[in-house]
Amino acid sequence: NQLRALVTGTTDKSLYADCDFVIEAVFEEVGVKQAVFGEIEKIVAEDAILATNTSSLSVEEIGSKLAHPERLVGFHFFNPVAVMPLIEIVKTPVTTESALSTAFVVAKGLGKNAVLTADAPGFVVNRLLAKVMGEAARAVYEGTPVADVEKAFAPLGLPMGPFQLIDLVGWKVAAHVQDTMVHAFPDRFYANQNFHRLAELPEVVDKDKGGRVTGFTKAAQKIVKDAAGSTPASADTILRRVQDGLAQEIKLMLDEGVVPEVEDIDLCLILGAGWPFIDGGASPYLDRKGASERAFGDTFHHPVIRGIGG
């Protein structure tokens, strides 16, 4: 009750004048976010920190119209916000150390674990989840039934299959993330033009009583049917493609300096995507499955970290 008493709601932006830390969480469009910050910056104090909850957009671009872009940080929560323990704190080339340190203090006060990332498309978690979602979509458009695709991803041990995850995150959000990744890395990420058409439907997938995806709704089937091929991929093929794709992307992220160490990526996937803790993280798992060797001819760890199952 004491905490609730500290929370108030308002549509009067002038009341933000004494705020020290402002978090924006509007729709994933750069122009919308720039407009919001343009209003807020004129109201808050010069030493107030501005934070964007963007899931994949360039934080630097969002702040490009600010008078003081150095006080803007990325502050990316994960759904459901009350449960997921991770915040990705994103640094732009001009973000000040004081802004970053304040963001870390706020994250700690919220009971979250914070990981610092560079301002790269998708940051850490969504860049890799976009790889997972893209491979799932690719398999469907090859002609693989949705339920079979969901089952093919089961060995990864994630809390839910790719289409169940998309349905939780929201199809419009997922479509925008895929657009961001395909625009940035068109040779490595898959997105189908029908993604946005599906996102306009009230329901895209059917589920059983346990919440597991069993297939597309009739409306979604009409959209997918004409574009889908007739050469379904096997479960082994789908799993191998996503394993190799994840290994390649993680290696590239390290080469680009998105985070300093592979352990940062493992932590992000455990806390932000529910990667099984028992695996020791994605990178040890990919090493053990041979995906790292196939993707870049080496392993992330020397020697390879053996899991409980070997």
CA 263, CA 156: separation in Å to the nearest integer?
A: 18
Contact (CB, 8 A) for 103 and 51: yes
50: β partners: 22, 72
Contact (CB, 8 A) for 292 and 300: yes
3-state SS track over 38-88: HHHHCCCCCCCEEEECCCCCCHHHHCCCCCCHHHEEEEECCCCCCCCCEEE
Contact (CB, 8 A) for 65 and 59: no
Evaluate the CA torsion angle 20, 26, 28, 34 in order and state its sign: negative
**301 has catalytic annotation:** no
Catalytic site residue from 68, 76, 183, 302: 76
CA 74, CA 258: separation in Å to the nearest integer?
A: 13
Q: Which residue numbers are catalytic?
A: 76
